[in-house]
Homo-oligomer: A and B are copies of this chain.
Amino acid sequence: MKNYINQNQERFLDELSKFLAFKSISADSAFKSECLECADYLVEFFNSIDMDTQLIPTKGIPVVYAEKIIDENFPTVLIYGHYDVQPAFKEDGWDSDPFDMVIKNKKIYARGAADDKGQVFMHMKVLEFMSQNNSWPLNIKVFLEGEEEVGSTNLEDFILENKSLLESDFILISDTSIISNSQPSITAGVRGMTAMELTVKGPKVDVHSGVYGGIMDNPINVLSHIIAKVKDSDGRILIPGFYDDVIEYNESQRAQFQEVFSKMPSKDDLCSEFGLNDLLAEPGFSPYEGGSIRPTFDVVGITGGYQGEGMKIIIPNQASAKFTFRLVANQDPKKVQKQIVDYINSIAPKTLTLEFDFSENSGAAYATNLDSVYYKVAAKAMEDSFGTKCLPVMCGGSIPVASMLKKHLNKETIFLGFGLEEDNIHSPNESYGIFNMNIGIETIFNYLNSIASQSN
C-alpha cells in the first residue's frame, strides 16, 4: 500500500483537487446543483472501481451509496462520511480561493480538505487499491451524506428506510482528529445532549417592586433557585436518578484518558488563557474528566426583567433560561428529560407557573467499547502506522450521527480520523496534511485487512 501511495501521489492530489473543487455547500440552496454534481462525481468514482453504486434520494441532498459484497460470511464494514462542506468565500479571510486547492508547506488548503472530503478521499483510495488488486478482504458498504453540515436533517429517515442496506458488523468514520502527528489517538466517546428552555411565569405584567416586593414571588429569583438546585456549586447534578445510567470507567481506562489529558493545556494555562480563577471539578473527577466522561448542566442563556441602563424597580412578569445537559453513555435523553421535568416541578416554589420547551434536538452520547475487537484492532493499526501507542480520546462535544447510527443500527462505531486541531475546519484556510492523508490511507487499509484476518 505504501508503494501505491508513493507511486500515485501526484494523481491522488490531482484527483483530490477535483473533489474539493465542487462547491458542495449544503447550507445554501444556491449551491444545490454543485452538491448534486459532487454526488454524481462520487457515483462515477465508485462505479469505476467496480462497486455497486446508487444515488439514493432523500427529502434534501441525496446519499451516495456503494457496496462490494464478496462473501456473506465475511465481516462487513459500513463506512460513513459526508461530501458537503461548510460555506466558504475568499473574502472570509482565505489566503486563496477555498475551492481551488493549494499545496503549501506539505498541506492541502481548501474547504473540505479535512472536513470531510479529504478524509473520505482516503477511503476512496483504499477501495481503489483493493479494486485494482481485486483483493477485497471483507464486505464493504459506503454511505456518504450530503447534509452533515446542516445537522443531518434527513439522515435519520434515510437510515430508517434503508436499515437492511446498511446492515454491517461495524461502522467506520473518518471525520475526527488525532492529538498530533507524533501522538495517534482515536475518538472513543462523544457526549450527547438534551437542550431545553424553561420559562417561569410571574405576575401577568411587571409590577412595582416596592408595592409588591415581599408579596409576590419573583420569576428571576425562582428561576435562579431552580438552576441552583439542578447542579450544586461543585458541579454535581442533583436530579434524582440522573447518574443511574452513566457509564463508569475502570482505573486503567481512566489512566489512559489521563495520558490524553496530560497532553492538553494545564489548569494554569487554561485559567490564564481564559481569565479564570480556577476550573470546575466535580468531586472525584478531574476537570478534563468533567469535560468528557461526565454529564454536565450549563445554562447557555438567561433573560428576564429590565436590562437597560440604570435601574427599574419592578418584579418582572417572567424569566427564562436555555439549558443544555451534556449526556454521556449510556444515558437516554428521553428518560433524562423526564427526570429533569419531574425534579424541577418537585423543587420549584408553587407560587409561579413553569413552562418547559424541549423542541430543540436531543441526542444520546456515544462511547466506543474500548474492549471491543474493532477498537483494539484500530488502536493497533494506528500504533503500527505511527510507531507510538494510540490513546483513546473522550470528547466533550457531540457527533449526532454517532448516536443515530448506534440507535438504529446498534453496531460499534470506530472514529478513525486523521485531522489535526490546526486544520481550521469550519474556518478560513482549512487544511489537511499530506502526511495525514497518506498515513490515513495506509492505516485504514491495514485496519480493514486486520479486521478481516481477525475474523477468519
Interface residue ranges, A against B (CB under 8 Å): 191, 193, 195, 201-205, 207-218, 220-225, 227-229, 231, 233, 235, 270, 273-280, 282, 287-292, 294-307, 310-316, 319, 321-322, 324, 326, 349-353, 360, 395-398
Contact = CB atoms under 8 A, between A and B. Distances in A.
A270 B316 contact: no
B214 A350 contact: no
Given A305-B301, A396-B212, A223 B221 contact: no
Contacts of A296: 209, 213-214
Given A214-B287, A303-B304, 14 more contacts: A204-B274, A208-B396, A215-B280, A216-B279, A220-B227, A223-B224, A224-B225, A224-B302, A276-B352, A298-B315, A300-B314, A300-B316, A301-B306, A302-B305
A217 B276 contact: yes
Contact of A291 (B212, B231, B297): B212
A278 B222 CA distance: 13
Nearest to A324: B209
10 contacts: A204-B274, A209-B324, A209-B326, A214-B396, A220-B227, A220-B299, A223-B302, A224-B228, A311-B322, A313-B324
B215 A270 contact: yes
A311 B195 contact: yes
Contacts of A298: 209, 213, 218, 220-221, 315
Contacts of A229: 228
Contacts of A231: 221
A169 B48 CA distance: 106
| Copies of this chain per assembly | 2
Nearest to A308: B301
A377 B213 CA distance: 31
Contact of A282 (B204, B214, B350): B214
A285 to B, nearest CB: 8
B220 A277 contact: no
Given A228-B228, A300-B315, A396-B214, A207 B277 contact: no
Nearest to A359: B310
A304 B305 contact: no
Nearest to A210: B397
B303 A299 contact: no
Contact of A208 (B207, B313, B397): B397
Contacts of A304: 299, 301-303
